[in-house]
Structure 1
């Protein structure tokens, strides 16, 4: 995203453009005719204005003025990220961006399960992923499951964040509900020294440092590092990570390029859900582990170690005054190792637990090319991309026993190898997009992309009866999809900009989904795999209408209504929530629809924002889902669990004295359904219905900062402090119906009881820090 000063042009209209103007303007103006009629006519040549330039694809090219686009983008610069003093990048989006929420399913601050308009970008293998994430044009959804490892994103180096809604085909595969595009600093955008040091509750410590340089001969460089360490607020939940980003680049005349090396490593503990209460046959509730101890965990260990090494080259060349060529090439290697202690599927007296490990190795490489330009009334872009990956996965399982604190101690027998898979994927895309000024205040944007994907895997599984390994035939699957989008934006004279958009995109099954799609041979996530039936690709269609209205220089209103329908969604139908057994299957139809409303204002020293989201996420076909221990018969209109219908976000900052700032934010969320209780039942075949949904809640956060020597460039020292969850609200943001084999004191009984497992939110915490810029 870039900002620059431009002047509006009024090109001569062709007869076809005039016809389009007469056809589309009456419909667009209907909602605001009265407001527009009260304003004086716009001047023929408006004065120069600073506008936001938004990238309309992973390689942004020259970008397009945000006000001309037919959908509701959200864009954030580095200064706003620092001002919010959020714990990390996903915490910022959870606090400030309408439509975004984060579930603490794993209980780790860097393993958040993020949703936008109900679509997920999650580190959880098996989650129905629906958002694509890009860093400097490189897609960071991992090949094995399309998961997003937030802990491997160099967030201290993030310069800008852009959230694009809907099934935008320009952003390629997996962009069903939206795309998140991040750009990082260079020596040109972050010159000098910048550092931050913080510490506080739960033994949390964090240090970030960067240094950027540039010279008159065009060379520039940037290096940044981050380290994080904490004990965690839950039992056995320590975590640590480290990042390094180094860039070197050169700008000479019409050509510029930069080469970036990114290294990352994390060791995080995600202890998952914990039983809050058990249920009897009548639905009566008895408090369990979570009620007795807020920081309790169900079983442990649950440790994930991620490592990343990535090298990417970005280059741009200005061919002439109105045409630019951009290119990208990258190689990316990631490693993921997990250790999980779970209850045994078939418990015995001397082996009531299971000690599981997995090993995932992923190698990817790719390239992209983009040609963008302006020709008369057209602002266009043509592009192509290719991404290839190879994945190797293996798992072991070892009998174990539970310790008194519900840890799993491996037994004397050696670990048994489980399923292994070697998979390959290749994705090729070719796209074009054009924003056409068909009238002085009307722009039509059309996009067309062709996606071709190939996925293959070679599976090795272990026969349950003989214990012998079986090498399965190599499976190969091909997918093709032609995805269009068409939208229009029209600015009323002196009033709002109205917009409408239709878009289509697709997602293809990943190696893990194709390798675990047989209900007769369910697999363990992220462990077992089987050679399985073909899965269809997911096709998503989005319709969006909205309005952008700068009521004044100090007040901005944005509103968007949307509907996204998924066909052949890929869902993981679990056999057992505690043992993670299940399989993937296509589901005929799901739907996400709602409204996002945002207001931003400023009054003197006070700046504020308010965001409201309404979301109705439902299954829109009849089918039988396996959720935890239950078979759930869903019908059209059954709500998808874990998503609140109403969300309200408020934030304010008050600069009450030179160098001083006092701010706060609050998030209010309505109740949400519990997975496994979508039909209101506790047991299969029973008529009695019990609502096990989680209640709504509100969380308040406060912050303060002081700059001893305030400067226009905000250089020098800044001291800050913050309090999260000021009123120590006890809340839960995800729940699932499952079975527990421990009593309320945490003692192993071996008798399974129905229970509601919850993802608890963090208690009150206090952090202080110092930030320095020079």
Structure 2
């Protein structure tokens, strides 16, 4: 029997429970051949774990060796290329700031994105309290032992589990003794080093160290970045008790220069629109995990953590004064009504500060979080019980500053030395969340299993806003929700299991969303806040059913899913590039996920296909930065492909040489702001401008090879985007102030900036080569 377990402390009791009947029935020398069994958790604290085939939904699991041998350059790329239903929007252009989507829901580092996936590290929720964002650069990739992706609105994984949950488990000296060092570099000037080392002693003590260093010149202009993080774990396994304490520290400086207008993109795919666009993250997190087995059938798990994160950003943009200048030149009069001379509408360096106005937006975010969770798992006969509770507390201090600037001919935004940065808005806030849950798994008949769970969430969000009028009155909002789930599995025969599940979960508004929810006082993201009206919490309900199984060297899963979200929170932008958060009555995401994995001797084939229909399920109006978009029930949600196919081939040529190929096919995407097929707002006098500004579909091929010349050494190489395809992963409609990247020329009268399609360029062909040493 092969048993794969995903949590330290849970394996021994799970293994004993599963093997004990077999051991009693078998003689000392009789061979026992059983199928592979994956043991996973049903909640962030795994407890005893459960056989994956008993869960009424399709859980995806990847171990560290699969991640290490993957075709992705980091964890988010691995998930996008190997996990069914997962895609990437490269909105920022930085490899560690990718926007991950799963079944139409996002786990994104971009403030203002509609978040819908909860992310856990060793049982600690790492979605930042200010906006529920996830900082992929602060995930300790060298220390990740496994990844579990749970689909749907699952109440057991707490707040923000609208479309799914990601649970990362770190390595330890018990599970990963020994060391591994890896160095890699690319032809685009990217360098990376990873170190992992685990040790254990006979008296139960164990430790682990993992670290990643990353330095990138950036394949786009002005997009260099770097990061460093270190993860340290120390623990002891002593009798029935296992404990560990870990410390995670990291810092990064990443440049993600965002979308490009199409005219500039055609001229130069490596260009940036305006710069700088810098994000600095710093994180310190301490965690203590405890597991105690009262018996082979009962286990208590607990985790406590403290987390401090800092984010500082600098973003250079053309300011609203630039638009005013364009309008003045067309009218022939300035804002005061005085006539303009012809040469005042040309551009010279001296006039730059006055006429080609820019603004440097800087932000400072400080977040402190503490919390604890406890869970107990017990088996009584054939019935399994789970219960748990969690408490989380966070303090947020946010400030945004603006400084007058001008835009150089290279579209660099430089601060005006004569103008000081001014506080434009800020907020101090607190959030308090508590949750309790209970779950039961019980067989109803031979081969039929019932799963039922219930969780109660309560959250209180308090903030005090500061704007141009000074501090505003403190506001507090309280949210409560009881979320149920019910599922069934039925084994038709050893090679096929039917499953069905219905579940509900919720997400409460964050400080940033509540601080920017007044249409009469819009704000700029990631900057600007105003006194806020009430926002409703999002409630999502998922219905899923399918079939899965395994026979000989083949495994497969087919799943139909449908998630409806009531009162989704969206950011509605205004033409002035400001906007506000508001509830949208109803959105719907439904589709099919299918996967088959087949072994042909030394050849492994994995094929997955996803069909996703993500739509607005009510009439409404969106404000998308450049225009007002009237949506109707059935209008597609932008940025999400309807069809995705992934094909992976791995060939073990001999014990020393492995080869692999990976093909990722994605259908076209709706461009944000073009959902209704228009490029401008309708005018009573003129026919509205129509265009199909979809982002075209694309296919990207990646090849890899690894060679082991000696037992401890491995050479590897990877070529991404083999045919150097030009492709895009996201699109948005916005006014192009600098056609072809050019500023206004001397004595030239500008016209109104026309709306254009802005795109997120995909990375060009990249060659990665590296060396791995195990010790």
TM-score (norm 1): 0.91
For 1:670, the equivalent position in structure 2 comes to: 667
For 1:332, the equivalent position in structure 2 comes to: 307
For 2:543, the equivalent position in structure 1 comes to: 543
The 5 Å alignment of 1:552-567 reads 552-567=551-566
State the shift of 1:657 in Å: 2.1
State the shift of 1:346 in Å: 2.1
CA distance in 2, matches of 1:160, 1:745: 44
The 5 Å alignment of 1:174-213 reads 174-213=160-199
Contact 1:662 1:703 in 2 (8 A): yes
State the shift of 1:745 in Å: 4.3
1:680-713 per-position Cα deviation (integer Å, ceiling 9, x unaligned): 1111114453211011100000000001135xxx
| Counterpart selection for 2:375 from 364, 370, 390 | 370
CA distance in 2, matches of 1:48, 1:698: 40
1:275 aligns with 2:270: no
For 1:523, the equivalent position in structure 2 comes to: 523
The 5 Å alignment of 1:142-221 reads 142-221=128-207
The 5 Å alignment of 1:399-478 reads 399-411=404-416, 412-462=418-468, 469-478=469-478
| Counterpart selection for 1:730 from 706, 719, 726 | 726
Contact 2:394 2:431 in 1 (8 A): yes
Q: Secondary structure at the match of 1:92?
A: helix
The 5 Å alignment of 1:488-499 reads 488-499=488-499
For 2:503, the equivalent position in structure 1 comes to: 503
Higher mean C-alpha displacement, 663-672 vs 487-496: 487-496
CA distance in 2, matches of 1:538, 1:587: 10
For 1:323, the equivalent position in structure 2 comes to: 298
Q: Secondary structure at the match of 2:66?
A: helix
State the shift of 1:85 in Å: 4.0
1:251 aligns with 2:237: yes
Larger strand share, 1 or 2: 1
State the shift of 1:321 in Å: 2.0
For 1:51, the equivalent position in structure 2 comes to: 37
CA distance in 2, matches of 1:395, 1:68: 49
CA distance in 1, matches of 2:744, 2:212: 41
CA distance in 2, matches of 1:50, 1:333: 41
Contact 1:377 1:438 in 2 (8 A): no
CA distance in 1, matches of 2:744, 2:60: 49
For 1:390, the equivalent position in structure 2 comes to: 395
After the TM superposition, which parts of structure 1 deviate over 4 Å for at least 4 consecutive aligned residues?
2-10, 748-751
Contact 2:727 2:762 in 1 (8 A): yes
CA distance in 1, matches of 2:540, 2:762: 32
Contact 2:153 2:505 in 1 (8 A): yes
For 2:605, the equivalent position in structure 1 comes to: 608
For 1:650, the equivalent position in structure 2 comes to: 647
1:266 aligns with 2:252: yes
Contact 2:71 2:702 in 1 (8 A): no
1:379 aligns with 2:372: no
For 1:659, the equivalent position in structure 2 comes to: 656
1:293-329 per-position Cα deviation (integer Å, ceiling 9, x unaligned): 1101000000000000000000000011200000000
The 5 Å alignment of 1:680-719 reads 680-685=677-682, 686-710=687-711, 716-719=712-715
CA distance in 2, matches of 1:221, 1:194: 14
Q: Secondary structure at the match of 1:639?
A: coil
1:575-601 per-position Cα deviation (integer Å, ceiling 9, x unaligned): 14xx64110000000000000000101
Q: How many residues align?
A: 714
State the shift of 1:235 in Å: 0.4
For 1:36, the equivalent position in structure 2 comes to: none
The 5 Å alignment of 1:481-492 reads 481-492=481-492
1:95-120 per-position Cα deviation (integer Å, ceiling 9, x unaligned): 11110000100000000000000000
1:128 aligns with 2:114: yes
For 1:281, the equivalent position in structure 2 comes to: none
Contact 2:618 2:633 in 1 (8 A): yes
Contact 1:421 1:460 in 2 (8 A): yes
1:626-683 per-position Cα deviation (integer Å, ceiling 9, x unaligned): 0121111101000001101000000011111221011010100001100000001111
State the shift of 1:207 in Å: 0.6
Q: Secondary structure at the match of 2:188?
A: helix
1:367-393 per-position Cα deviation (integer Å, ceiling 9, x unaligned): 000000111121121000011100000
Q: Secondary structure at the match of 2:68?
A: helix
Contact 2:305 2:371 in 1 (8 A): yes
Q: Secondary structure at the match of 2:78?
A: helix
Relative to structure 1, the CA distance from residue 613 to residue 652 in structure 2 (aligned partners, 3 Å threshold; closer, same or farther) is: same
Contact 2:71 2:662 in 1 (8 A): no
CA distance in 2, matches of 1:9, 1:672: 52
CA distance in 1, matches of 2:35, 2:434: 39
1:342 aligns with 2:341: no
Contact 1:323 1:374 in 2 (8 A): yes
TM-score (norm 2): 0.91
For 2:27, the equivalent position in structure 1 comes to: none
The 5 Å alignment of 1:48-87 reads 48-87=34-73
For 2:365, the equivalent position in structure 1 comes to: 360
For 2:570, the equivalent position in structure 1 comes to: 571
Contact 2:516 2:581 in 1 (8 A): yes
CA distance in 1, matches of 2:243, 2:187: 42
Contact 1:7 1:49 in 2 (8 A): no
| Counterpart selection for 1:236 from 200, 218, 222 | 222
Contact 1:78 1:159 in 2 (8 A): yes
CA distance in 2, matches of 1:211, 1:505: 38
CA distance in 1, matches of 2:424, 2:721: 43
CA RMSD of aligned residues (A): 1.4
For 1:18, the equivalent position in structure 2 comes to: none
CA distance in 1, matches of 2:83, 2:247: 30
CA distance in 2, matches of 1:447, 1:621: 30
The 5 Å alignment of 1:625-640 reads 625-640=622-637
Contact 1:156 1:226 in 2 (8 A): yes
CA distance in 2, matches of 1:702, 1:618: 35
| Counterpart selection for 1:314 from 289, 312, 315 | 289
For 1:41, the equivalent position in structure 2 comes to: none
Q: Secondary structure at the match of 2:81?
A: helix
1:588-633 per-position Cα deviation (integer Å, ceiling 9, x unaligned): 0000000000010110110110010000000010111101211111
CA distance in 2, matches of 1:525, 1:455: 20
Contact 2:100 2:108 in 1 (8 A): yes
Higher mean C-alpha displacement, 69-78 vs 48-57: 48-57
CA distance in 2, matches of 1:563, 1:639: 15
State the shift of 1:754 in Å: 1.3
For 2:210, the equivalent position in structure 1 comes to: 224
For 1:290, the equivalent position in structure 2 comes to: 265
Q: Secondary structure at the match of 2:319?
A: strand
CA distance in 1, matches of 2:297, 2:37: 18
Q: Secondary structure at the match of 2:740?
A: coil
Contact 1:7 1:48 in 2 (8 A): no
State the shift of 1:134 in Å: 0.2
State the shift of 1:572 in Å: 0.2
State the shift of 1:495 in Å: 3.6
1:146-175 per-position Cα deviation (integer Å, ceiling 9, x unaligned): 000000000111000000000000000000
Contact 2:273 2:741 in 1 (8 A): no
Contact 1:289 1:746 in 2 (8 A): no
CA distance in 2, matches of 1:498, 1:159: 30
CA distance in 2, matches of 1:442, 1:741: 62
CA distance in 2, matches of 1:179, 1:382: 19
Contact 1:355 1:400 in 2 (8 A): yes
Please list every run of 5 or more consecutive structure 1 residues that lacks an aligned counterpart in the other structure: 11-45, 277-287, 463-468, 711-715
Relative to structure 1, the CA distance from residue 533 to residue 316 in structure 2 (aligned partners, 3 Å threshold; closer, same or farther) is: same
1:408-455 per-position Cα deviation (integer Å, ceiling 9, x unaligned): 010121111110100100110000111111112110000100000000
